[in-house]
Amino acid sequence: MSQISPQTQTGIEFAAELLRQSRHAVALTGAGISTPSGIPDFRSSGTGLWSRDEPMEVASLSAFRMNPSQFFEWFRPLARQMFEAKPNPAHMALAELESQNYIKSVITQNIDVLHQKSGSKSVIEMHGTMQTLTCTQCYHQVRAELYIETFVATGVIPRCPKCAQVLKPDVILFGEQLPQAAWSAAQREARKCDLMLVVGSSLEVLPVAGLPMQALDRGAHLIIINNVPTYLNVRADVVLLEDAAATLPAITERVLNG
């Protein structure tokens, strides 16, 4: 980071010390960790997806069922961005912290698979994943890489190899429940952790936004790295209103090398 303010430097040092002292730290990530990789977030004024589109009209389960072609038309540019995106230094930093046993798991609201691409092993995907597609008729599941590249290039809606019905990306649309296994795993981690590191999430989308409160209620420390304030800034041990792609690597460097 260039031009680090004394306040930011102090926050980096304190965050690193908390991570070094923790026994079971977990990360909670949102769209802000992936914007440096070229993937737009949803709520930023002017640039977020929901500042341009009405989510219930394009990204709800009912909209998908009624008009899948409209969904795929909306989804194609986003799928292209995700397909072409590379992990940024923030993703790499979390993967390094996990490999060195400072982070036990990553709970993510993202569907872009960038944590896995960066090397993270224990990833809990709260809002589904772009790794697979499932048939809307016979529920046959396929690996996304077999279909997404062709869809991005041609716009042809992916169809099931068994029954030829539409394949739905395994992402959670408005009106769908969270994956039960992922939600249970995330709650276990929130209750078990002694430190939660929130990166790139405005903590506005429930129920995931309540996970840091579960951790706090059990005495865990809280670090928040996000460009804008969250409702839990007043409860956090460290708040860094900075770009995660610059700040998190600086914290990780200090954790690993002092």
- What are residue 171's DSSP bridge partners? 128
What confidence score (pLDDT) does residue 53 get? Answer: 54
Catalytic residue among 91, 115, 127, 221: 127
| Average pLDDT of span 182-205 | 96
pLDDT band at 54 (very low <50, low <70, confident <90, very high): low
Residue 127 annotated in active site? yes
Domains of the chain: 1-39+86-127+177-258 (3.40.50.1220), 41-84+129-171 (3.30.1600.10)
What confidence score (pLDDT) does residue 94 get? Answer: 98
Give the tens place of pLDDT for each residue, 111-127: 999 999 999 999 999 99
Give the tens place of pLDDT for each residue, 70-86: 999 988 988 888 888 99
* Sequence-ordered list of residues with C-beta below 8 angstroms from that of 172, at least 6 positions apart, any chain: 126, 127, 128, 178, 179
Is the CB of residue 167 less than 8 Å from the CB of residue 158?
yes
Strand residue runs (E) in the chain: 25-29, 105-108, 123-125, 128-135, 141-143, 167-171, 195-199, 221-225, 238-240
What confidence score (pLDDT) does residue 51 get? Answer: 42
| Average pLDDT of span 205-223 | 96
Percentage of the chain lying above the pLDDT 70 cut: 93
With 0-12 / 13-18 / 19 or more C-beta atoms within 10 angstroms meaning exposed / middle / buried, residue 23 is exposed
pTM: 0.90
What confidence score (pLDDT) does residue 146 get? Answer: 87
What confidence score (pLDDT) does residue 36 get? Answer: 94
> Residue 19 has which token pair?
């991570």
What is each CA distance from 169 to 38, 41, 133, 164, 187, in whole angstroms?
A: 20, 18, 4, 15, 25
pLDDT band at 238 (very low <50, low <70, confident <90, very high): very high
